[in-house]
Amino acid sequence: MTLDTLVFDIETQNFFTDPDVGWDNYDALKISVVAVYSYLEDRYYCYEEREMDKLADLFNDARRIVGFSMNRYDIPVLNNYFQRLPGAPKLWEMERVDLLEEIEMATGQRVSLDRLAMANLGMSKTHHGSEAITLYRDGKMEELKEYCINDVKITKELYDLYRKQNFLLMPSKKTGEIIKVEFAKPAATPALL
């Protein structure tokens, strides 16, 4: 069986700054939607909180997962859900490519997905992350799903560039000028062979 590479992003119903949550309290964060791109199927998916079992099935068929700041946020939150499901994937044991961590290791700096998308793809995000919570609370689920899928599309295109050329462009925090960020190790290719 061929194992997949998945690019994903989560949005939550709440955040650490909410009074009933508290900083780094991942157990209190609730997922609103998770968007995923499957290289094997060349398809985007979007799952709501009640569909975590279907999402777990998709992750069970993956060898590699890709995201942007996923090790700090997406994986800890999603892992809380998966731990409650029998036979769910163990995210921390999977091969992971966190594009923000790759940039931090290469430059010692953080950068937003929006600024990275503008520098490399000439496009920007459709919303800011905090707006996702408002969209959820306002019941605008289709708009929320579109936003989350758009973030995955951006992350996927950045990952494709990362694999193809082994560098990304990034605006310098000090000067604002675009710098070339080269990665030390050869970029991985999708697990599709």
Closest CA to 10 of 53, 46, 40: 46
* Band of residue 191 on the pLDDT scale cut at 50, 70, 90: very low
C-alpha to C-alpha distances, 97 to 32, 50, 53, 90, 183, nearest whole angstrom: 23, 27, 23, 15, 12
Provide the pLDDT for residue 140: 96
Convert the pLDDT of each residue in 134-143 to its tens digit: 999 999 999 9
Whether residue 192 has pLDDT greater than 50: no
Closest CA to 4 of 61, 55, 70, 46: 61
CB of 133 within 8 A of CB of 12? yes
Q: Which two tokens stand for residue 30?
A: 């609730």
Residue 21 to residue 19: CA distance in whole angstroms: 6
Of 75, 92, 101, 96, nearest to 183 by C-alpha is 101
Helices (H), the chain: 52-60, 75-82, 99-107, 113-121, 129-137, 141-165
- Per-residue pLDDT at 193 exceeds 60: no
pLDDT at 16: 81
Using the 8-state DSSP alphabet, how is residue 186 labeled?
P
Q: Domains along the chain?
A: 4-182 (3.30.420.10)
Give the predicted TM-score (pTM) of the model: 0.91
- pLDDT of 22: 67
Task: Identify the pLDDT of residue 186.
Answer: 55
Please indicate whether residue 161 or residue 172 has the higher confidence score (pLDDT).
Answer: 161
- The 10s digit of each residue's pLDDT in 21-65 is 667 777 878 999 999 999 999 999 999 999 999 999 999 999 999
pLDDT at residue 190 above 60? Answer: no
Contacts of 58 (CB under 8 A, 6+ apart): 4, 6, 36, 38, 45
Give 77-119 pLDDT, tens digit per residue: 999 999 999 998 999 999 999 999 999 999 989 999 999 999 9
Q: What is the mean pLDDT of residues 146-156?
A: 97
Q: For residue 188, what pLDDT is reported?
A: 53
| pLDDT score at 103 | 94
Compute how many other C-beta atoms are within 10 angstroms of the C-beta atom of residue 27: 11
Q: How many Å apart are CA 141 and CA 33, to the nearest integer? A: 9
